[in-house]
Amino acid sequence: MNKHKIITFGEILMRLSPPNTKRFTQTQQLDINFGGAEANVAASLGNFGLNVEMVSALPNHDLADEAIRFLKRYDVNTKNIIRKDGRLGVYFAEGASMHRGGKVIYDRSDSSFTQLEVDTFNWEEIFNDASWFHWSGITPAVSENAALICEKAIQKANEMGLKVSMDYNFRAKLWKWGKSDTEVMPNLMKGCHVMSGIHPDVDVLKDEVSDEAFAQSGQELMDKNPNCQVVVFSSRGVKSANHHTWAGALYDGKKVYRSKKYELTHIVDRIGGGDAFMAGIIYGLNTYDNLQPVIDFAIASSSLKHGIEGDFNAVSKEEVLQLMESDGGAKVSR
Amino acid sequence: MNKHKIITFGEILMRLSPPNTKRFTQTQQLDINFGGAEANVAASLGNFGLNVEMVSALPNHDLADEAIRFLKRYDVNTKNIIRKDGRLGVYFAEGASMHRGGKVIYDRSDSSFTQLEVDTFNWEEIFNDASWFHWSGITPAVSENAALICEKAIQKANEMGLKVSMDYNFRAKLWKWGKSDTEVMPNLMKGCHVMSGIHPDVDVLKDEVSDEAFAQSGQELMDKNPNCQVVVFSSRGVKSANHHTWAGALYDGKKVYRSKKYELTHIVDRIGGGDAFMAGIIYGLNTYDNLQPVIDFAIASSSLKHGIEGDFNAVSKEEVLQLMESDGGAKVSR
Amino acid sequence: MNKHKIITFGEILMRLSPPNTKRFTQTQQLDINFGGAEANVAASLGNFGLNVEMVSALPNHDLADEAIRFLKRYDVNTKNIIRKDGRLGVYFAEGASMHRGGKVIYDRSDSSFTQLEVDTFNWEEIFNDASWFHWSGITPAVSENAALICEKAIQKANEMGLKVSMDYNFRAKLWKWGKSDTEVMPNLMKGCHVMSGIHPDVDVLKDEVSDEAFAQSGQELMDKNPNCQVVVFSSRGVKSANHHTWAGALYDGKKVYRSKKYELTHIVDRIGGGDAFMAGIIYGLNTYDNLQPVIDFAIASSSLKHGIEGDFNAVSKEEVLQLMESDGGAKVSR
Amino acid sequence: MNKHKIITFGEILMRLSPPNTKRFTQTQQLDINFGGAEANVAASLGNFGLNVEMVSALPNHDLADEAIRFLKRYDVNTKNIIRKDGRLGVYFAEGASMHRGGKVIYDRSDSSFTQLEVDTFNWEEIFNDASWFHWSGITPAVSENAALICEKAIQKANEMGLKVSMDYNFRAKLWKWGKSDTEVMPNLMKGCHVMSGIHPDVDVLKDEVSDEAFAQSGQELMDKNPNCQVVVFSSRGVKSANHHTWAGALYDGKKVYRSKKYELTHIVDRIGGGDAFMAGIIYGLNTYDNLQPVIDFAIASSSLKHGIEGDFNAVSKEEVLQLMESDGGAKVSR
Amino acid sequence: MNKHKIITFGEILMRLSPPNTKRFTQTQQLDINFGGAEANVAASLGNFGLNVEMVSALPNHDLADEAIRFLKRYDVNTKNIIRKDGRLGVYFAEGASMHRGGKVIYDRSDSSFTQLEVDTFNWEEIFNDASWFHWSGITPAVSENAALICEKAIQKANEMGLKVSMDYNFRAKLWKWGKSDTEVMPNLMKGCHVMSGIHPDVDVLKDEVSDEAFAQSGQELMDKNPNCQVVVFSSRGVKSANHHTWAGALYDGKKVYRSKKYELTHIVDRIGGGDAFMAGIIYGLNTYDNLQPVIDFAIASSSLKHGIEGDFNAVSKEEVLQLMESDGGAKVSR
Amino acid sequence: MNKHKIITFGEILMRLSPPNTKRFTQTQQLDINFGGAEANVAASLGNFGLNVEMVSALPNHDLADEAIRFLKRYDVNTKNIIRKDGRLGVYFAEGASMHRGGKVIYDRSDSSFTQLEVDTFNWEEIFNDASWFHWSGITPAVSENAALICEKAIQKANEMGLKVSMDYNFRAKLWKWGKSDTEVMPNLMKGCHVMSGIHPDVDVLKDEVSDEAFAQSGQELMDKNPNCQVVVFSSRGVKSANHHTWAGALYDGKKVYRSKKYELTHIVDRIGGGDAFMAGIIYGLNTYDNLQPVIDFAIASSSLKHGIEGDFNAVSKEEVLQLMESDGGAKVSR
């Protein structure tokens, strides 16, 4: 399923962060990065060489122009990002350090995206040359209209034969428009073929999650969502802000495929790690015939993300493949 | 009228700007400054050694804490800045350069301040040890409740014998809540003793505004607002973003007092120039027995503002006095 | 002649500069900007909303990727930028300050562009949906092959009915491959419809160049190059590195059209000023029916360039129009 | 003992450091932080919400103003910081990295603080609404007069019923005025109720210090200083500059209370770790009825300090409590 | 008199400045520059290619090492800079901007240099291969011993046939050790052959100082100091911090030689301008046979200094010559 | 063999790197460092106090001047660095992070050094007061002439009784001029007394290399190169970009001397680690009578290099000795 276009739908955010390990109270400057769950996926896919397009909404000012330019840099088609009233969603993110967690101040209310009208997008046209549609649980969380548009898109995608992937991405602070995720998401998930699962409740630093546990958790999702063909899991163990473990699993209804488990020390920035994983899954499913390299690629690429500032996983396909094939060490190439 | 407290009421904003002469499209970082018309006045007055307090509202997060810490640094009392739901008002400001104007992207909708409840503040208590109340036309512009609170405060201030000063500060982009400035401001101005006037329509680069023109314009304001005792004017001539002229006038119903006219070349940052002027007027009226030094102090201090990054006029009283007494040159003291 | 594509051909360079007014001996960091005469023109045209494509060659590494991403940001089509052996052309540029001139260390020898093979590009295909071709005198200066390709492109453009524009852009340090500009350029200019002229030898700070002088100089070029329909002149007067005058003239064989003369003080970066002028000319000729706004637009946009760091003229069409219609002052819009 | 004011007495220093891991020989800039043992304690206590005041002396110039503004930001009362002749104490601190230790160049001789006159402060007035007095062994080290003032303050504090705490803080480079710490400190310690002890000589990386050893060491201090009610110990094990262990113990004459032992990897800045510990002890003793949370709070808060640039422990009470209650991992809250 | 070594004697200082136009209250970083009147002269002379050595004293720590490395970079011999107890002299310098003067906080008391022992240097050995000795009025100002050493050096220089030059460099804040400049300097000046004069009291912005006035002022100095052969004057007119005029004159007992008068706009940093002038004079007297190019070179080189950050005049001999020969404009060389 | 001069011959490069952990695609600035295998060795030796000179070639422009000034800062004699046509060799180096390797873009073709003429240097004169000559395998890799000059120098050094040391430093990307290292190096190695060996193929993270293996490998080199007296080995184990192990061994034909094995976590910059090792070997052989401290010094100093930004090992001899004598921890000295 390799040539056709992949469509993502979601909000693009400006992230503003104190440089390095500085705290909000210590800085006179904020670093700018653009991101958002689906934008991160889109930029990764474009950077890996797939044909990808982001559907979204932004206000009409210079900083929103920059959000679009960020996507253009990585070959994401932006022609269906409409410009309208409302704000550019912002989030302020202070980095984690040692035993101190990261701190996020969301400032994305009343953004152009949350105020989208339900009939704004012509999904039939957008999906015309597409084979895949990706969304995350953040999109229906931000406003009722966003949820309704998402529903429409999923329905049309299914009608037109696209594969649909979803990252649950639960953010408690975002579901404020009247309904909870448990009321909204089940219906949307019905139309999905690939989805992220929640790993069984096990301390991944100490114990290994068994294949059986993953299989059971994945099967439950498949039972509830008959379209679902693949469930993916990422498992994070947190020793400190700078030292995690990171591993993945994929269940296809028959078998559990496991990645190796990476020891992530000297972490630079964990934000976007999950999006990098999801992008890796989509890339893999659109590239490989077998499932083992899919989960291997996804975990290798998202491991690399932890060494990169900003939301976006600025690594090349070649670098991911190199890590997949290596023993984990990192050498200077010269 | 020197010992008592001066109260200001208004919104505190976080300003985010590209460094130096960079444009939004060129920067990966934004410099943080805190400001807002009344906050700038308050910080200047605290820095000049007057007893000053700011009444406002902010959300309850780390960046709003920094807004308060900025005021504390300059000895502004912040005990009546309440913390509540809503956003921290932000504005993105790109600097002007040569023939290119500055660019402001307001992002202050739905801030904690605009969502203030009408009965939040106990003005009787706040004004207890105060002798002066200052507000600007930005406050009633941002929301109906802010306008209503402003009206209450002005009324209570008059009842309790405080002097009230006002800076008109018209911002077309802000009056969005249903009424225009011409519907709201006249009533509020009735309770003011000191106000900024609009200078007569003359090209200040080419022609001098006559004393008669200032007097006539001031007298019209006084006729409409019988409480008004002093009208102040600042006159800006713009040759390019880096080269202005700057002069002031003050009318007390009898006579026009003129400042010298400064040739402002090599301007660093003009934002906050008007607030620095207003702070100078309030400082002067609370310090000097005569009116000539009032306008001289206000124009000298606001001239210095143009050489300082950020909204706030980070100059000492001594530096203003030194400029007032000098011929305008600037020497290294060593 | 508004809808069709504009093609530029030339080298893309990485410029590395000490920040602000620092000298090479004072800095531990160099700022990165991408530029080059034709790339600057292309990015400006893309940014102004025209359909534009750059034909070039770059090596295959991460920094060359960034050169391409720079163009993508401003909607320049890059599909005909080939990747091949050779270097990424670099130039180190130290800013001018007061009475000290700027300093350029060229490091562009043996770049991928200079080593292009003569038959690399299929101009017939490239020009398929194009109406305009632009090149500058820097391109034939860097290597014999570049000169030969340029000749081919001009010939094919003429065959296919495109308009051809040229900026003479003489750089003494570049003509090293065996022939001088006077041996090579005349032949290339024969195929051009729009070209930059050298203004008559007059001190533009003191004396005005007369219409007659411009007309005579332009007419001489037209006499030698019968295809030529428009000759444009930019006149720079240099009082110091931070203070220039800047004006333009356009001759169409009948009449001289003059721009206003801008007093440019507080100059931030003059590099790219000529390219911004040429982009303005091309934009104007592709937009306006009359010639007066063409020269006005070109001089206004290139005046704005002097207030912007880097080679590229990061201004919007709206900002140029605003300056054209204003009296030259620069105001904050809020 | 929760409502009354805490008074600290000591010198405020400006720390100047190369950014990040740069060495003195590699940098063109120095980062400014304000600190000093007692100032760090005071700022922490103010930031945790206690009523705190710093007594000190500074010269009368702009950088000393900034030292005071630093304290104001964190709600430390500064009205008894006098301004007088002498220098602002400075120390240049190069960060440690891997197996390279940090490097400190003291430049604090002849500071305003060291030149204090013995009768400058009216301690009776200063202690009027206070319940606690804190000092460290750095204060008597810097000059004879500082030692004498310290003695006076301790005596008056005891007369007026304040609790007195002390951090031994031995710095060999500082005791230069004629007497050694062993001649001066014993007398001062007699008036102290809470003091830091020196942990028994055990390799904390390899072996655990036994409760008995802590108790014995604490009891010896109590025997010599009959006023002493609490002795606290912090134990640091150093694997490399970026990897320490950190644990604490508290002895109240009856029992040893132990904190958990933190594995501190990816250390950002260890300077101020001991001050953060002492501030935690004072906060705890002024907040909790039991002693276990006192040592837990102190070690958790000082562990967080190691992840923060600068001398001051810029963490909130809530962040410390969160770490105390967690298993040590650090998560992004969103 | 071209081949022999030039010896300077004076203190080397570390200057710490807020970046760009920032004030002390606005910055979290300070830029490092090394300077001092005689060090600036020495570095300029080394940079211009003369054989130069600096005699001084510094403490023995890493930042003092950097002071020496700064001189080595510009080929100043440092073998007679002794290392001893005491501080590294520091000065904090905030830049001037528009109508605000620069601000200097001296922190050079008790430096290693001020505490030099009188017999430290063996001048006979130091002057062995030298032909010139330069000092400034700052040296005898900082301590009695520095004054005595200076006296010794001047005497020995005269005995050994060296030319001696002096820059008066009066700094009111420095003469604190017991005697005033008027008590100390006359004796030292007796042994000088070249000295800076104080220009007659005329407003150089409005009126030209006449040749007669310069001649009279110079002749008075020569009458008092019979060794004196050349008196040089620099005249600064200050319109604002960013706009000065700058001109020079030289009197040889017979005739007044005048430089052209430079209009210095867009000034970056005026500190070190006088030292750059003096270095230009010494360079000129050691290079040219005539006196006109001496004053021309000195004023051209010191004009360039105003466009350069830091104390040191980082310009090449070629750049000075280019300005001397040009009409003052500044062009990019490419 | 302590007093005489050490001569190095090789190319000096400018390294341009994104700051901190940024990637090429994320940065607008590049940090400048100067380096190159032999330059790094020379600067280390100068910094350790040995008499050292670098022979090389550079172009004649401001950035090449800075390369020379970098060496002067650390007391490297530069009088035999000739200036000629050609480029300044550049390499762009992106830092490694976690599991991502470092990335080097070489841009050193056609440098002045590669274009050296074979008879440029008078080695007899250069070696006049020298006792040691050092070169690395990078020098003969860059051009045929460089290889020929290297051969000449080695031959002359042997004639004149100098010791010759060599670091193999194989870089696959560099051997482009026609011959491979295996064709060229053996002949050059014949004249060497000290050389780096390749450690036997063992995973140094898991298994210890045995003394026998080192001895065997060393003996093979000695058998092929009868002049060879000392072979040194450095062993690097790579867990991730930020975590290596590092150990060394030295074989003198009789015995293997082993250093301790350092656990290098939190690595800042590994580039130059091998050069720091080689400098340590040369320093040790010129300082110690026994061989054990030679390998201990070399490994301790190169361990410290990993905590320092840039190519050059900016540590003092004292810091190396302190680490040699310590247990590896790093303490703040104060």
Q: Is the pLDDT of residue A3 over 60?
A: no
Q: Is the pLDDT of residue A1 over 50?
A: no
Confidence (pLDDT) at D199: 63
In which band, very low, low, confident or very high, does the pLDDT at F291 lie, cut at 50, 70 and 90? very high
Confidence (pLDDT) at C202: 56
Contacts F319 to D, Cβ<8 Å = 100
> In this complex, which chains have at least 3 CB pairs below 8 Å with chain D?
A, B, E, F
Q: Is the pLDDT of residue A228 over 70?
A: yes
CB contact under 8 A, D73 and B75: no
Lowest mean pLDDT among A131-145, A228-242, B193-207, D16-30: B193-207
Report the phi/psi class of residue E178: left, alpha or beta, with left for phi > 0 and alpha for psi in -120 to 50: left
**Tokens 């002693």 found at:** D291
Residue C200's CB: how many other CB atoms inside 10 A? 14
Instruction: Please name which of E20, C21, E239 lies closest in space to residue B310, comparing C-alpha atoms.
Output: E20
Confidence (pLDDT) at D172: 84
Confidence (pLDDT) at F326: 86
CB contact under 8 A, A62 and B30: no
Tokens found for residue B317: 């009283």
| Cβ proximity of A55 and A126 under 8 Å | yes
CA angle C11, C14, C20 (to 5 degrees): 135
The answer to whether D29 contacts chain E (CB < 8 Å) is yes
The answer to whether F85 contacts chain C (CB < 8 Å) is no
Confidence (pLDDT) at F203: 59
pLDDT digits (tens, 9 = 90+) for C285-324: 999 999 999 999 999 999 999 999 999 999 999 999 999 9
Instruction: Tell me what the mean pLDDT of segment D293-316 comes to.
Output: 97
CB contact under 8 A, A106 and D334: yes
Residues 283-312 of E with CB under 8 A from B: none
CA-to-CA distance for A236 and A196, rounded, in angstroms? 14
Instruction: Tell me what the mean pLDDT of segment D60-89 comes to.
Output: 98
In which band, very low, low, confident or very high, does the pLDDT at D90 lie, cut at 50, 70 and 90? very high
pLDDT digits (tens, 9 = 90+) for E178-215: 999 999 999 999 999 999 987 665 556 666 789 999 99
Confidence (pLDDT) at C172: 83
Of chain E, the percentage scoring pLDDT greater than 90 comes to 90
Mean pLDDT of all residues belonging to chain F: 94
- Can you list the positions of beta strands (E) in chain E? 5-9, 13-17, 29-35, 52-58, 76-77, 81-83, 90-94, 103-107, 130-136, 163-167, 194-196, 230-240, 243-251, 256-258, 262-265
Q: At what angle do helices F37-47 and F273-285 cross, to 10 degrees?
A: 50
Q: Is the pLDDT of residue F331 over 80?
A: no
Question: Residue type for A122, please?
Answer: N
Instruction: Please name which of D37, D9, D313, D56 lies closest in space to residue D164, comparing C-alpha atoms.
Output: D9
Of B206-210, B248-252, C330-334, highest mean pLDDT? B248-252
CA-to-CA distance for E19 and E65, rounded, in angstroms? 23
If you classify domain F5-325 with CATH, what class do you get?
alpha beta
**Element at C276 (helix H, strand E):** helix C273-285
Distance from CA of B27 to the nearest CA of E (A): 17
The answer to whether C265 contacts chain B (CB < 8 Å) is yes
A166, A231, A244, F24 from A301: Cα distances, Å: 18, 18, 15, 18
Of chain A, the percentage scoring pLDDT greater than 70 comes to 94
Of chain B, the percentage scoring pLDDT greater than 70 comes to 94
The answer to whether D21 contacts chain F (CB < 8 Å) is yes
The answer to whether C20 contacts chain E (CB < 8 Å) is yes
Lowest mean pLDDT among A155-164, B323-332, D180-189: B323-332
Task: Tell the burial category of C268 from Cβ atoms under 10 Å away from its Cβ (0-12, 13-18, 19+).
Answer: buried
Contacts B173 to C, Cβ<8 Å = 334
Confidence (pLDDT) at C334: 52
Confidence (pLDDT) at C2: 46
Residue of B97, B240, B265, B267 to mutate when probing chain E, most E C-beta within 10 A: B265
Q: Is the pLDDT of residue D135 over 70?
A: yes
Confidence (pLDDT) at D292: 98
Tokens found for residue F275: 């050069």
The answer to whether D98 contacts chain F (CB < 8 Å) is yes
Instruction: Tell me what the mean pLDDT of segment A72-99 comes to.
Output: 97
The answer to whether E69 contacts chain F (CB < 8 Å) is yes
Confidence (pLDDT) at F198: 72
Question: Residue type for F267, please?
Answer: I
| Cβ proximity of E191 and E127 under 8 Å | no
pLDDT digits (tens, 9 = 90+) for F141-186: 999 999 999 999 999 999 999 999 999 998 888 999 999 999 999 9
Q: Is the pLDDT of residue E222 over 60?
A: yes
Residue E64, phi then psi, degrees to nearest 5: -70, -35
pLDDT digits (tens, 9 = 90+) for A237-261: 999 999 999 999 999 999 999 999 9
B242, C48, C127, C133 from C5: Cα distances, Å: 38, 13, 8, 9
Mean pLDDT of all residues belonging to chain A: 94
In which band, very low, low, confident or very high, does the pLDDT at E287 lie, cut at 50, 70 and 90? very high
Distance from CA of E82 to the nearest CA of F (A): 17
Q: Is the pLDDT of residue B252 over 90?
A: yes
CB contact under 8 A, B75 and D75: no
Confidence (pLDDT) at B172: 83
Tell me the pairing of strands B13-17 and C76-77. Answer: unpaired
Distance from CA of B328 to the nearest CA of A (A): 31
pLDDT digits (tens, 9 = 90+) for F61-83: 999 999 999 999 999 999 999 99
Residue of F44, F48, F265, F299 to mutate when probing chain D, most D C-beta within 10 A: F265
Confidence (pLDDT) at B326: 86
Distance from CA of E227 to the nearest CA of C (A): 36
| Cβ proximity of E64 and E39 under 8 Å | no
Cα Rg of chain E (Å, integer): 19
Confidence (pLDDT) at E197: 84
Polymer length in residues for chain E: 334
Domain assignments of chain F as residue spans, ordered by start: 5-325
pLDDT digits (tens, 9 = 90+) for C265-285: 999 999 999 999 999 999 999
pLDDT digits (tens, 9 = 90+) for E43-96: 999 999 999 999 999 999 999 999 999 999 999 999 999 999 999 999 999 999
DSSP state of E197: -
ipTM: 0.93
Q: Is the pLDDT of residue E289 over 70?
A: yes
Q: Is the pLDDT of residue F108 over 80?
A: yes
Q: Is the pLDDT of residue C332 over 80?
A: no
In which band, very low, low, confident or very high, does the pLDDT at F200 lie, cut at 50, 70 and 90? low
Cα C175 from chain centroid?
Answer: 18
CA-to-CA distance for C256 and B88, rounded, in angstroms? 55
Of chain C, the percentage scoring pLDDT greater than 90 comes to 91
Confidence (pLDDT) at D4: 87
> In this complex, which chains have at least 3 CB pairs below 8 Å with chain C?
A, B, E, F
Confidence (pLDDT) at F1: 42
pLDDT digits (tens, 9 = 90+) for B227-240: 999 999 999 999 99
Distance from CA of F329 to the nearest CA of D (A): 5
Contacts B69 to D, Cβ<8 Å = 73-74
Contacts B24 to A, Cβ<8 Å = 62-63, 65-66
Lowest mean pLDDT among A301-305, B73-77, B171-175, E218-222: B171-175
Distance from CA of D332 to the nearest CA of A (A): 4
Residues 118-147 of B with CB under 8 A from C: none
> In this complex, which chains have at least 3 CB pairs below 8 Å with chain F?
A, C, D, E
In which band, very low, low, confident or very high, does the pLDDT at C206 lie, cut at 50, 70 and 90? low
In which band, very low, low, confident or very high, does the pLDDT at A201 lie, cut at 50, 70 and 90? low
> In this complex, which chains have at least 3 CB pairs below 8 Å with chain B?
A, C, D, E
Nearest neighbour of E332 by CB, restricted to C21, C101, C242: C101
Q: Is the pLDDT of residue B328 over 60?
A: no
Instruction: Tell me what the mean pLDDT of segment E100-123 comes to.
Output: 96
A174, C189, F278 from F218: Cα distances, Å: 65, 68, 16
**Tokens 């990295």 found at:** D97
Tokens found for residue E104: 């200097």
CA-to-CA distance for C296 and D215, rounded, in angstroms? 87
pLDDT digits (tens, 9 = 90+) for F204-257: 666 678 999 999 999 999 999 999 999 999 999 999 999 999 999 999 999 999
Which residue of chain C is at minimal alpha-carbon distance from B266?
A: C266
Contacts C240 to E, Cβ<8 Å = 263, 265-266, 328-330
Tell me the pairing of strands F29-35 and F13-17. Answer: antiparallel
Contacts B23 to A, Cβ<8 Å = 62
CA-to-CA distance for B262 and B249, rounded, in angstroms? 13
Instruction: Tell me what the mean pLDDT of segment E92-110 comes to.
Output: 95
The answer to whether B61 contacts chain D (CB < 8 Å) is no
pLDDT digits (tens, 9 = 90+) for C81-116: 999 999 999 999 999 999 999 999 999 999 999 999
Confidence (pLDDT) at E1: 42
